[in-house]
A and B are shown apart, each in its own frame.
Chain A
């Protein structure tokens, strides 16, 4: 079942990264954007979703896509985590008000008080093209993201 958010305009937001910069979705118009909502920094390294995306980043970049990781962790936590894992993409702190952006993307787990593992692919026009909530405890991998980016790229060329 496709999510009701697919085909909708992506809600704009502006959040702080681990290195203190502000990132606004509206400034990324023109290229695809991947939002990866995840529960928390510091999950075990070899099965960590952000560490995986760090490895796959060149494949995302081939589509001109920008990747943003988002959790409710604060910016200092994000900074330490990003340095430890040598992440080459920004982590955004959905920290105050807690989880507000995640809620707008139906990516918030009220019971856990954290983001659910949710992937959102937005095209260059700011439209949500793919929205996927992963089952609890299953790191969704990157294949779905690449499929969505591939579909956007194919369309742009036809």
Chain B
């Protein structure tokens, strides 16, 4: 039995994932996150800035990892983002959720859905039916098997990023992974 657990992505990025940026970008930054987690909230503008700086060099992927025992709204918020995805608006909803971390009760989620132009009744119905809980749980499960150890957990080209997620640290780690991949 290996003495070192593999801190690598157990489930490769696929078309099933929510991603933004070119599929053939040299860098894929993947986050396992929780919409109610304050640390993920703090990481949100950092990720945006990293994306802005790296442009076409970066593909960003987000997977759900709701810590439901400590964040009572995290599961529903994740399901709301998945509901938005079925209306081709995952990223607007994703951004809305991180900008409104204190309005994540059901009313808040629906007003977010309204604000970004979703079919609100459909979102309400899908949340009530728990239609997207299987997807959210599949993300969570893949995270566990990939060594997610808290939220947010980042992977750079499939390898867990174990340092902090300040912008300079992330950019340096991305740079280092590039040089490693080239050598």
> CB within 8 Å of B: which residues of A?
1-3, 6, 44-49, 51-52, 54-56, 59, 85-86, 88, 129-130, 132, 135, 138-144, 146-148, 151
Contact = CB atoms under 8 A, between A and B. Distances in A.
B164 to A, nearest CB: 10
A46 B148 contact: no
Contacts of B145: 143, 146
B150 to A, nearest CB: 3
Q: Give the size range of B's interface with the partner.
A: 20 to 34
B1 A6 contact: yes
Main secondary structure of the interface of B (DSSP, over half): loop
Contacts of A129: 1
Q: State the 3 A-B residue pairs at the shortest beta-carbon distance, nearest first.
A: A144-B5, A47-B150, A141-B149
B67 A130 contact: no
B3 interface: yes
Nearest to B40: A46
Contacts of A85: 69-70
A142 B67 CA distance: 14
Interface of B: 1-7, 10, 34, 37-40, 67-70, 140-141, 144-152, 162
A44 B42 CA distance: 14
Contacts, number: 86
Contacts of A6: 1
Nearest to B141: A59
A81 to B, nearest CB: 12
A45 B70 contact: yes
A147 B1 CA distance: 9
Contact of A51 (B2, B70, B141, B144): B70
A54 B3 contact: no
Contact of B144 (A54, A135, A142): A142
A147 B151 CA distance: 21
Contacts of B10: 143
A52 B67 CA distance: 7
A60 B10 CA distance: 18
Contacts of B162: 135, 138
A86 B70 contact: yes
Contact of B148 (A45, A48, A141): A141
Nearest to A132: B3
Given A46-B37, A143-B6, A151 B1 contact: yes
